[in-house]
Structure 1
């Protein structure tokens, strides 16, 4: 039996991991732990067999059928991940994480559970949390409730250790309603624990993702537990990824001023809003195609309903980017609406649109912001609050620099309401901005605030002091000192009060020291480079005999440009020799006395060089100026062969090098100036293009409004034309009817009248002729003023004789009706002459009344007689009617 065990221990670890005997597997797991612990680094060959296997070995170890072997197998996996590094995690997690969740977390042994959870956390630590969470989510659909509960507990541990900033909570938030609806109470309890952990990190920002799908009782229970967590401090990340650990190790040690920055970073980790968690939704396709036409309606209710429908569509946590130009132009137009309800609803739409789009909303800011600021003149609180909320969201989607120009322009507005609302918006913007304004912007804001201090309204003066105080809180008292010069002490005291009470999120952090550090850091390596390059040459030349110059002519001592400081033997191995600027004798012979290492130009004192210039350098053992004590006289025996002062050669070379460096510097400065000019030109072009774009948008808006107005006028003109056509058709039908009646009347009156038949026919004919005389176009007014025919019931009696009794008013209406007129026209005279029959009859009556009629003309006499008969008959009828109705004579 012992021999068999020795044979098993001799097997490779992968074979022992897959052995049928659980004891062999258990021994293999234990030996693997020992082997991983002694590896020097993560690239050790001991990890290769398990990495190349892609996790099948570890999947079997995590799900071992023997509980004792499984415990050691999960422990071996933890050691493999701990010492193996990132590659061990990425190559094996696809097969191992699900086994740990289904077999390890639900094990009956506490040690196996703890090791399984540690293995999952190691998988997260070595890489990222996203892939591990994706591998765990399928286990939430397992049939066994204990597996689901254990998986939820593992997810809770991941978010508890790494936080919601490192681990994305969105995939897990989506499945929470399903976990709360599980039949097992342990699963629901773990879901509650996970929700409470989310609330510690996200607060109310997590609710839109799943809250509406929970039961009311579950919401009530969770709200009660949320109240207990509100008093707890903000959570902190307890465990860090390997990448985060490496970044923290590379970071400099925390100094005195590093504390606040770290606190700010921790606060930013906690600040997670709904926008970061929500998925973008496409709302543009849901907007009504005739939205612009609805906003152009003449009825304010229709305009309001269009804005309300748009608000329901846009009221989502996150909006997918798209072309919202038409929508924003319509909402900007609504800012000029006469109805405040439409303005309020449109402002709400602007708020949710900016809140849902965030950064992409910046391209619509110029369209929206101006009209909203102009509408601040409204005195109603509800309208001003809605406009203020819309402006705040527009600012959150952009920045202070983008909005500052329009804000400062509206601070000069003539309307005090607009000025006050803009001032409040500026104060809110300064308090919420996270970026400190630039110096030109600070000057503009300070100038506007000082102008507000001289306003007649107390609210504006106080607001100006608050603007300056808030700006001082951002920039600091020292930076704001020059801007407050000239103000009296009372105003400065007021500004200081607002400065003490202001709470801002941005802080101006000037960094003058890092700007001066790079030149020093660059100078030090240059100096070191020069010294290191020359020291080997000096070491080679030190043993050279000093009497070498006694055997050479005077011309040999003159400097000639060759390789500087490099002996004939070459430089020291391993160092690269300089190429140019060296001193050598004729024939390339090096000058050993000039090989002393030269200090950098910035370190060599000028007076010291002047003192040692006359001293010869022969017999100094190659030390040079830097190699002997200051003030030491040169040896006298070497005066017979004087050499030129070495400092002149070095200074010339140094000057040449310095001139070259200066030329490089000038060239760099010119390049920088060119780049600045190019940048300024590009900025001016960008600003010009922005102005052109804004002008084009304004022109387009104006053209659209003009088109809408023309369309409205066209619709009205069409309706009027249709009404005129209908009236013309009606008049045409009436004309045809009158013609037909005239024709019938002519046929009826064409027969001769008997001389003695002056009964009802004569009366009727007389009444018709009388109607002709008084109701024709030219003499209508005269007929109405005639008592005999315009009086009460003038023709009622005629009608009574002919067709029964009618009232006097009815008789007059009948007299003036078109049919009676046509009959009168037909009976008065012939129309063949082309003149009006009524005018001919009237002319005949006048001629009949003339005392001197023309001889031989009997027609006027006959007409006069007929008119007299008709008049008498009418008078008789009128008297009868009056008698019958009991009307007495006046």
Structure 2
């Protein structure tokens, strides 16, 4: 169907037809809608498995614009697809990404291709497949291609902790890039001069071994800390953020249960130790407060969504959050229910990211959150419950009881019924 300008409107066509269409604009439209579906569908939606095996074909699209949109769809797939589905195809996606996307003339495609590598490490619980794809591409004759592939290799190793020392392939020559690669691996392991990684240097020429040892000696001694986690590590970090409340609730279960909780706490804390806290206040949009005060609900919504993405970090650096939390607390009763819900979600993320450091702001948010229990919408009520659980985990039960008790006599029956069930 053509519009007044003579352009064809492909949006009315079935998604499958657009994805396989000869016209690049139709494919581009299909990839865009596929990305949206991945981002908004439930984890058990069949859409993830339906096109999983054809994603590698989409990454090699002959049109540059459509290819970039295809890589964007792959990113959403790896982000939101069930672990079993994503892990099944993630390795197969690496070759077309390496061959067709990493050296694209479009900056957006190159950036998204790097992100695909990082997400593949998350999904595959390690970087072996990613490293294999990248190292296989080092034989490429184009300098630009080799340089871009080294960038992807470097990104993966800096952001994830590597437990193995098998990097001899990166040390097969004495070029400066390979020396830097081996040195970063040595720092990432933190093994010291006699670490297992040195066992892989025995097959090198003496001059190469000497150059590597000299580089190791000059490198900083502190161990590199990863900034990203694999899926299993993220799950452990999530347990670490939620476990304080669970431990408090199970404290009457007996000594044996207490010991189990302590073990879980130790594991959770160990997982969080690998995460570098983000400086949220510095990363915030400078116009956040202005946009949040806008009379247009869409501007408030966009400002809150941007903050929510930042606040979802597993670990947030402690700072003076009084102004931000106070402003958000006043917006819990925003006239627009969508904005109000996002405000509650932001507070939830802040409480979980700051953990015990959120305790000073508990009194600012507890009462308005409990008051909001009069809301009838299920998604709002669930968001409130989750946020109160996170706030409870940051403080003591005695500190929370005063707020809860003062509101149990509310006239609204829904609020009165729901408040005792908090935590």
Normalised by the length of structure 1, the TM-score is: 0.26
- Is the alpha carbon distance of 1:34 and 1:196 closer, same or farther for their aligned partners in structure 2, counting shifts above 3 Å? same
Q: Alignment partner for residue 169 of structure 2, among 170, 175, 199?
A: 175
2:237 is the alignment partner of 1:248: yes
- Is the alpha carbon distance of 1:190 and 1:76 closer, same or farther for their aligned partners in structure 2, counting shifts above 3 Å? farther
- Is the alpha carbon distance of 1:149 and 1:209 closer, same or farther for their aligned partners in structure 2, counting shifts above 3 Å? farther
2:183 is the alignment partner of 1:196: yes
Q: Which has the larger radius of gyration?
A: 1
Corresponding position of 1:68: 65
- Is the alpha carbon distance of 1:42 and 1:262 closer, same or farther for their aligned partners in structure 2, counting shifts above 3 Å? closer
1:151-189, Cα deviation, whole Å (9 max, x unpaired): 333233222211112xx442xx131233x26xxxxxx44
- Is the alpha carbon distance of 1:213 and 1:18 closer, same or farther for their aligned partners in structure 2, counting shifts above 3 Å? same
Q: Contact 2:131–2:153 at 8 Å: present in 1 too?
A: yes
Q: Distance in 2 between matches of 1:91 and 1:212?
A: 35
Q: Distance in 2 between matches of 1:150 and 1:211?
A: 29
Corresponding position of 1:123: 120
- Is the alpha carbon distance of 1:141 and 1:28 closer, same or farther for their aligned partners in structure 2, counting shifts above 3 Å? same
1:133-153, Cα deviation, whole Å (9 max, x unpaired): 444443334444444443333
Corresponding position of 2:43: 42
- Alpha-carbon offset, residue 115 of structure 1: 0.6
Superposed CA RMSD in Å reads 3.5
Corresponding position of 1:499: none
Corresponding position of 1:471: none
- Is the alpha carbon distance of 1:225 and 1:59 closer, same or farther for their aligned partners in structure 2, counting shifts above 3 Å? same
Q: Contact 1:36–1:83 at 8 Å: present in 2 too?
A: yes
Q: Alignment partner for residue 83 of structure 1, among 80, 85, 89?
A: 80
- Alpha-carbon offset, residue 14 of structure 1: 3.2
- Match of 1:230, SS? coil
User: Where do 5+ consecutive residues of structure 2 fail to align?
Assistant: 248-261, 275-423
- Is the alpha carbon distance of 1:140 and 1:14 closer, same or farther for their aligned partners in structure 2, counting shifts above 3 Å? farther
The 5-angstrom pairing of residues 146-165 of structure 1 reads: 146-165=144-163
- Alpha-carbon offset, residue 5 of structure 1: 5.6
1:199-249, Cα deviation, whole Å (9 max, x unpaired): 212343222203651562x55554454334234x22223211112211222
Q: Distance in 2 between matches of 1:59 and 1:153?
A: 21
Q: Contact 2:78–2:90 at 8 Å: present in 1 too?
A: no
- Match of 1:98, SS? helix
The 5-angstrom pairing of residues 299-378 of structure 1 reads: none
- Alpha-carbon offset, residue 43 of structure 1: 1.3
- Is the alpha carbon distance of 1:156 and 1:6 closer, same or farther for their aligned partners in structure 2, counting shifts above 3 Å? same
Q: Distance in 1 between matches of 2:70 and 2:107?
A: 14
Corresponding position of 2:204: 213
- Is the alpha carbon distance of 1:243 and 1:263 closer, same or farther for their aligned partners in structure 2, counting shifts above 3 Å? closer
Q: Contact 1:153–1:194 at 8 Å: present in 2 too?
A: no
Q: Distance in 1 between matches of 2:206 and 2:19?
A: 49
Normalised by the length of structure 2, the TM-score is: 0.51
The 5-angstrom pairing of residues 650-669 of structure 1 reads: none
Moved over 6 A (4+): none
Q: Contact 2:123–2:230 at 8 Å: present in 1 too?
A: yes
The 5-angstrom pairing of residues 803-822 of structure 1 reads: none
Corresponding position of 1:617: none
Q: Would you say how many aligned residue pairs link Structure 1 and Structure 2?
A: 250
Corresponding position of 1:422: none
2:226 is the alignment partner of 1:237: yes
User: Where do 5+ consecutive residues of structure 1 fail to align?
Assistant: 182-187, 270-890
- Is the alpha carbon distance of 1:196 and 1:157 closer, same or farther for their aligned partners in structure 2, counting shifts above 3 Å? same
Q: Distance in 2 between matches of 1:214 and 1:23?
A: 54
- Alpha-carbon offset, residue 265 of structure 1: 5.0
The 5-angstrom pairing of residues 628-639 of structure 1 reads: none
- Alpha-carbon offset, residue 253 of structure 1: 3.3
- Alpha-carbon offset, residue 91 of structure 1: 2.9
- Alpha-carbon offset, residue 32 of structure 1: 1.8
Q: Contact 1:90–1:127 at 8 Å: present in 2 too?
A: yes
Q: Distance in 1 between matches of 2:30 and 2:206?
A: 51
- Alpha-carbon offset, residue 132 of structure 1: 3.7
- Match of 1:213, SS? coil
- Match of 1:163, SS? coil
Corresponding position of 1:574: none
- Alpha-carbon offset, residue 99 of structure 1: 0.9
1:628-648, Cα deviation, whole Å (9 max, x unpaired): xxxxxxxxxxxxxxxxxxxxx
- Match of 1:9, SS? coil
